[in-house]
Amino acid sequence: MAVNPNAAPQSATIRVCPSCGAKNRVLADRAVDHPRCGRCRADLSAPGAALAKPVVVTERTFAAEVERAELPVLVDFWAPWCGPCRAVAPVLEQLARERAGRLKIAKVNVDENPALSARFGIQAIPTLALFRNGALVDEIRGALPKAALEARLAAKGAG
């Protein structure tokens, strides 16, 4: 395909894949065509879809996904072998769906991201850390029932 040097530049947006976290450049005229992630082929068509489920965050993506997020972010520090972590996961998925656009839920696997665990002094899991404007504003240790977690979030004005 030949590129026309006289053509007007196309506007594009960057969309973060809700599945793998890859950044994808989506041309404005292609946004209605259900664009897919270049890395994992996940659907990128709904801009808010990434917020409707927890986002996997790593040491590499933490600053972009949490510290520079416009919304409050509830970070779940967890591990796959942890029973209470697995028990709280469905509650977090439900909160992500219910509060999409008001609260972002992020998950950090402590085994795969030891520097983040050390940075925030994570000594027990699950630990839920609430960030607003990049600052840690609350920390919850242990698996809370949904009602208790919602009350805690409401008290901190998160979503």
CATH at residue 84: 3.40.30.10
The residues assigned a catalytic role are 82, 85
Task: Write down the residue that tokens 């040097």 correspond to.
Answer: 5
Same domain, 55 and 109: yes
Task: Give residue 107's domain range.
Answer: 51-155
User: What SS3 state is found at 122?
Assistant: coil
* Phi, psi angles (nearest 5°) of residue 71: -95, 160
Q: Could you tell me if 41 and 57 lie in one domain?
A: no
Give the pLDDT score at 82. Answer: 96
Q: What pLDDT score was predicted for residue 46?
A: 55
Q: Token match 């000594």: residue?
A: 123
Whether residues 73 and 120 fall in one domain: yes
DSSP state of 48: T
Q: Does 93 lie in the same domain as 42?
A: no
Residue 5 inside a domain? The answer is no
pLDDT at 52: 73
pLDDT (tens, 9 = 90+) of the chain, 159 residues, equals 455 556 555 677 777 776 666 788 887 776 567 788 888 887 776 555 556 789 999 999 999 999 998 889 999 999 999 999 999 999 999 998 888 878 999 999 999 999 999 999 999 999 999 999 999 999 999 999 999 999 999 998 876
**120 and 135 belong to one structural domain:** yes
Same-domain pairing of 75 and 125: yes
pLDDT at residue 43 in the model: 75
Q: Do 143 and 97 meet the contact criterion of CB atoms below 8 Å apart?
A: no
In a shared domain, residues 81 and 132: yes
